[in-house]
């Protein structure tokens, strides 16, 4: 059996380190595609989150004008009707509202009225110009009822409010 000289020891050690390096390098090469795929997936997820965040920021901006309002209660429809539909008394009925973001509530009111078209237009314009605005959600209109110059309408109006 050959003797264990310092030269052989050094060569043996170097070979062991080289073999370990080779094994580690082979292992790293073998798992390279999996590792890169994992990183790519995470990067793609991050990009998706960034896109979602950007989209969400756009939607979120719709809140700002309402939060900036000094009064967060819409004007009374009765008062608006008194101003725009003189001599006419619409029927009002509260409908079920729904919760909205940041403590706001979407309030809905059904309005039934027989009025001349021009007066009705003025009422809707005043409601839409109010702050917070009344938004027309649905409309049912029958012309010539009860008289030839009037229309019978049922309106569903929605306004946002915060108490």
Partner 1 sequence: MVSPSIPRCRAAYGADLGRQRLVLVRAERGGTVTTLWNGAAAAAPLQAASAEVAAAGAAGRALLAAALPATDAFARWIETPLVAADKAQKVLPALLDVQLPFPLETCLYAFSQLRPGPAKNFRALACAARRSDIEARLAQLGALGLDPALLTHEGLVLWRQAQAEIPLAPATLRVVAYLGDGRTTLAVGSGAGGGELISLHGIRLGADELAPPDAPAVRQWASRVNQLLRALPAGAEGEAVQWLWCGPGAELAAPLEAALAQGDRVHFKSLAEPALFLARALALAALAGAADGQLRSGDLTHPALLAHIATGHRRAALNLLLAGGALLALALGWQVWLQRTNDSLQAELLARAQELSGKANIQYGTEIATVQAALKQRAAELQPFTAALAPVVARDLAAILAAARKDHVTVEALSYSGTSLIIRGATDDWNRCDPLAAELRLLGFSIELSREEAGADELVRFTLKGTRR
DSSP element (H, E) containing 107? strand 105-115
Q: How far is the CB of 33 from partner 1 (least distance, A)?
A: 12
Q: How far is the CB of 27 from partner 1 (least distance, A)?
A: 7
Residue from the set 2, 13, 119, 162 that interacts with partner 1 by CB under 8 A: 13
Cis-peptide, bond into residue 25, ω within 30° of zero: no
Question: Pseudo-torsion of CA 39, 44, 46, 51, nearest 10°?
Answer: 170
Residue from the set 48, 71, 78, 89 that interacts with partner 1 by CB under 8 A: 48
- 129 binds partner 1 per the rule CB under 8 A: no
Q: Which residues pair with 161 in a beta bridge?
A: 105
Binding flags for partner 1, 52-81, as an x/- string (CB under 8 A): xx-xx--xx-xx-xx---------------
Q: Are the C-beta atoms of residues 120 and 132 closer than 8 Å to each other? A: no
Which alpha helices (H) appear in the chain, and where do they start and end? 6-30, 32-60, 64-67, 77-84, 117-129
**Which residues of the chain form contacts with partner 1 (CB under 8 A)?**
7, 10-11, 13-22, 24-25, 27-28, 35, 38-39, 42-43, 45-46, 48-50, 52-53, 55-56, 59-60, 62-63, 65-66, 98-101, 104, 106, 124, 128, 132-133, 135-144, 156, 158-160
């Amino acid at each position: 059996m050959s003797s264990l000289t310092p030269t052989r020891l050094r060569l043996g050690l170097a070979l062991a380190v080289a073999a370990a390096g080779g094994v580690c390098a082979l292992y790293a090469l073998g798992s390279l595609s999996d590792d890169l795929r994992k990183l790519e997936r995470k990067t793609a997820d991050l990009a998706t989150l960034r896109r979602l965040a950007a989209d969400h920021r756009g939607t979120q901006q719709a809140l700002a004008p309402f939060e900036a309002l000094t009064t967060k209660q819409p004007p009374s429809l009765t008062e608006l009707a008194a101003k725009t539909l003189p001599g006419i008394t619409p029927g009002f009925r509260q409908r079920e509202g729904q919760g909205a973001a940041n403590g706001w509530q979407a309030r809905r009111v059904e309005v039934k009225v027989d009025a001349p078209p021009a007066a009705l237009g003025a009422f809707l314009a005043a409601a839409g110009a109010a702050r917070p605005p009344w938004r027309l959600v649905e409309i049912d209109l029958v012309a010539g009822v009860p008289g030839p110059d009037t229309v019978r309408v049922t309106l569903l109006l929605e306004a946002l409010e915060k108490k």
